[in-house]
Structure 1
Amino acid sequence: MTPRTPRPRRSFIFTPGLRPEMFPKALASGADIVCVELEDGIAPKDKAEARQKALALFAEPQADDGVERIVRINSMRERFGIEDVNAVLATDTPPPALMMPKVRTPDEVVMLDQLLSEAGHATRLHVIIETNEGLEAAFEIARCSDRIDAMFFGGVDMAAELRCQNTFESMIYARSRVVHASAAAGLDVIDVPFLDLDDPEGMRIEAEKVRDLGFAGKGSVHPKQIAALNEVFTPSDTQIARARRIIAEFEAADTGLVVIDGKLIEKPVLRDMYRIVAIADRMAS
């Protein structure tokens, strides 16, 4: 697998493709990822207009502001998804990344990867695991393309497919499996938005739980949620200092393990330390 460059993916927010005037506001919201929506948030009668307006946003060079820009297309198994892909392939200024919803099997991702390669597009991919079939194939999906940078957990659709409540406790297995698959492939994994805007404390608690489970970030449904999400998923000063120290000790020792503060630290830990430092450095720049 091609090594992915670590970057903050603490929070993301959707902005409707039908409303391009909202794109600058989303970019200024503080979210690490802004996703232009063509899927569930757009009515069938408006799909073509939203697609045209969304792709037009990328006709001009984008600012180097550290915000990751994505377009969520419709499912590759649906007509609207095929039309979205054809439009992306036809443009000379494709979005930097596409989010693929309702992915069920690796062949969907492989097909899109091949089509993008034929078109000469460097577009990256983000995959949502939100179906029972996709959950079963999560490990194969995560490894099927070097274009994939992150996997997203789609809790609302997943709960409906599993016929369970959409709560942290009910979804612990599904979330854990997506985390495991993502980690095995070196991908970031990002959690579903918390839908209750009137329960900020509940959102923070759930964000802390998924962070501790291995998630790199969580979605938002409103800009007012973003600051708290960024806070939860930002490494602390103590964590950053410890990561820098561990890296320095390993580089000086040039061995497979070191002892720091009486604790044995083995080389596999370095991967996470480099991620913490890279995120800290990017946020400081």
Structure 2
Amino acid sequence: MCWGCRGRSEGGVAVTRPTRLASGPGGFPACRSILFVPGDRPERYENALGAGADAVCIDLEDAVPSGRKGEARKAVAGFLAARLHGPGGGDSTETSFRLAGGSDRTSVSSPVMLAVRVNDLASREGARDAAELARCSPPDAFMLPKVRTGSDVRDAAGRLPSASALIPLIETARGLENAVEIAACDGVAALVFGGFDLAIELGAEPRWEALVYARSRVVHAAALGGLDAVDMPSRDFGEMSGLREEAAKARQLGFTGKVAIHPAQVPVIHGVFTASPEEVRRAREIIEADRAAGGGAVALDGRMVDRPVVEAARRIIQRAHFAPVPEKPPPEPPTRPAPPSAE
């Protein structure tokens, strides 16, 4: 999937925010994983960006104690400035910034999408975030907590740099009720399910069974808006089997990715949300069979292929850049042992 733009008007001048649309020109990747890093720990930014996640979100909200909000805000602003004006200019692969404590560090940036989660913009800290970050080099996206209505998104769009996409968190009962409206707002790139906060508001346990209805509503809203849907994190980063099982259920439900709170979770999440080479090959076979049949129902290997099956196959192919398939099968192993190496 690629990312395009949906526009809005700002002072009579049309501006656009990047957002994922199948017909868009690209440049803003779909995400299997969003790795969070605390905003008041800038010494961790490098490791997060190099952890292999599709996106990194520097968190100014829940991960930062109230007494360190200002420090975190300054660290993020400095990092964003360095990211744009690093050695060699804005497209450099290296950026230098000053860590808390005064030491200079050089950070390697990759095609990883960089997001910043601000505080609730209706709060005093959120207002300070918006004022500070509006003057900064924009990240790829802003993650918006506690989004309740489409008006919240539109308000954020007017207060944050227009070059950044918006990623609302659906983590309140009212936000869940208005998820379709939220997903339809200009500039929204994806929806993230914030199950822990929602569970508290609902008086529910943050377990799979208790939240499957809410998860389904988020997936439904994202699908109507043509957006990715990213599932809540698993807090138990020491138990990968539980993460793998939960991620698999989320993928079956329609989620396209999952939040990570530890780098060790990233490869597990990618293993679930990346189509296997076999899935990609099968999807190509289905699309080719549909093309040969002229769009009507057709049998393939004893199974009926109709429009829903073809659409599912196309979705796999659209995300197949995560799972490249070789044009030719690997060579057969030699029938005789290879001669010993000269090394």
State TM-score, norm by structure 1: 0.88
Q: Partner letter of residue 168 of structure 2?
A: V
Structure 2 CA distance for aligned equivalents of residues 50 and 248 of structure 1:
52
State TM-score, norm by structure 2: 0.74
Q: Partner letter of residue 246 of structure 1?
A: I
Where does residue 118 of structure 2 map in the other structure? 73
Q: Partner letter of residue 170 of structure 2?
A: I
Give the 3-state SS of the residue equivalent to 1:69 in structure 2: strand
Structure 1 CA distance for aligned equivalents of residues 113 and 228 of structure 2:
13
| Offset of residue 251 of structure 1 | 5.2
Give the 3-state SS of the residue equivalent to 1:197 in structure 2: coil
Change (3 A) 1:127 1:270: farther
Identical-pair percentage: 40
Change (3 A) 1:190 1:49: same
Give the 3-state SS of the residue equivalent to 2:80 in structure 1: coil
1:228 aligns with 2:264: no
Structure 2 CA distance for aligned equivalents of residues 96 and 226 of structure 1:
20
Where does residue 203 of structure 2 map in the other structure? 163
Quick check: 2:21–2:227 contact (8 Å CA) kept in 1? Answer: no
Change (3 A) 1:265 1:83: farther
Where does residue 198 of structure 1 map in the other structure? 238
Give the 3-state SS of the residue equivalent to 1:58 in structure 2: helix
After superposition, the C-alpha distances for 1:204-246 in whole angstroms (9 at most, x for unaligned) are 1111111111111112221112211111111111211122233
| Offset of residue 132 of structure 1 | 0.5
Structure 2 CA distance for aligned equivalents of residues 216 and 148 of structure 1:
16
Among 30, 39, 55, which residue is 1:33 paired with? 55
After TM superposition, what 4+ stretches of structure 1 lie above 3 angstroms from structure 2?
4-8, 61-64, 246-275, 282-285
| Offset of residue 254 of structure 1 | 5.6
For structure 2, the residue ranges without an aligned partner over 5 or more in a row are 1-5, 7-19, 85-89, 94-108, 326-343
Where does residue 174 of structure 2 map in the other structure? 133
| Offset of residue 194 of structure 1 | 0.7
* Matching of residues 90-105 of structure 1 within 5 Å: 90-91=135-136, 93-105=137-149
* Matching of residues 16-27 of structure 1 within 5 Å: 16-27=38-49
| Offset of residue 198 of structure 1 | 3.2
Q: Which has the higher helix share?
A: 1
Higher relative contact order (CA 8 A, sep 6+): 1
For structure 1, the residue ranges without an aligned partner over 5 or more in a row are none
Structure 1 CA distance for aligned equivalents of residues 80 and 128 of structure 2:
18
Among 150, 157, 182, which residue is 1:106 paired with? 150
1:3 aligns with 2:21: yes
After superposition, the C-alpha distances for 1:172-208 in whole angstroms (9 at most, x for unaligned) are 1111111111111111111111112332211211111
Quick check: 1:55–1:94 contact (8 Å CA) kept in 2? Answer: no
Give the 3-state SS of the residue equivalent to 2:258 in structure 1: strand
